[in-house]
Structure 1
Amino acid sequence: MFPGLLLSAALTLTGIQPITHPTPTAAPAEEVAAVDTQYEAVSAPYPPAVQDALSKVRKNGGHTIVRAKGKSYVVIGAGQRPTGGYQLVADQVKRTGPHGYTVSVHVKAPAPGSMKIQVISYPTLVIALPDQQAQVTVQMR
């Protein structure tokens, strides 16, 4: 018990906040470019089908589309990263046709020289589109 209290006190004094994992990544408002269509960055708890898809794309990266509850969920994973601090950021969600959408995302790395938790991380992003028939193209840079 004493080592746990000592660790908590050390973390409190150094200002390091504990991190829960996996953490859904949502872009801060100032980082999102002009958006041409309505969408929602979704955080946990996810519908069961979305959770299953997330576990599949999390480690290796990539994307998939899950249709549930009247929406299309775009589940995107960046794959394995060497430390914490990485995020997937939605740059633009653009409507390209009656049911067509293009989602542009990028991986945001932690700032050079910043303190990073030394743990392998798997940045993910889940976006909900209001169209259950959405045909989505994901562009990752």
Structure 2
Amino acid sequence: MTIDQTKTIQACAIGGLCGEMTFPEIVGKLSAIGVERYHADYCRGEITYYLTDGDSQVVATPHPRHELGDAFDAAAVESAVHQSQRGEHTYLDFIRKTMAAGCVGYFVQITGRQAIYFGRRGESHVERFPD
């Protein structure tokens, strides 16, 4: 991994948390440097980014702790995703809402144009990127 790739990844992670970058901006920048997917782990407070060449980088994403719902509520996750797409809340709001809905993390498959949200017992919900 190059220094420029590392800097871009870190800028995207912090830019999302601080509300300085939107999801489409982040995906565009990551795709441009060869990131094919990333995994946001709410419980560990980190995101792992995977390059097409197999290299990876873990970035700490220190967000406030929120209560984690016991049951996975796919409809609530879907609602939070759609609120994000409409610009109705911040990424930190998104984290809070999806954690309350029992989501422990998600994978963004940039090359597959989808995100997969999952619960603590293996439940999942898939959201395809809008056109």
Q: Which TM bucket (shorter chain)?
A: under 0.3
Higher helix share: 2
**Structure exhibiting the larger radius of gyration computed from Cα positions:** 1
Q: What's the TM-score once normalised by structure 2's chain length? A: 0.26
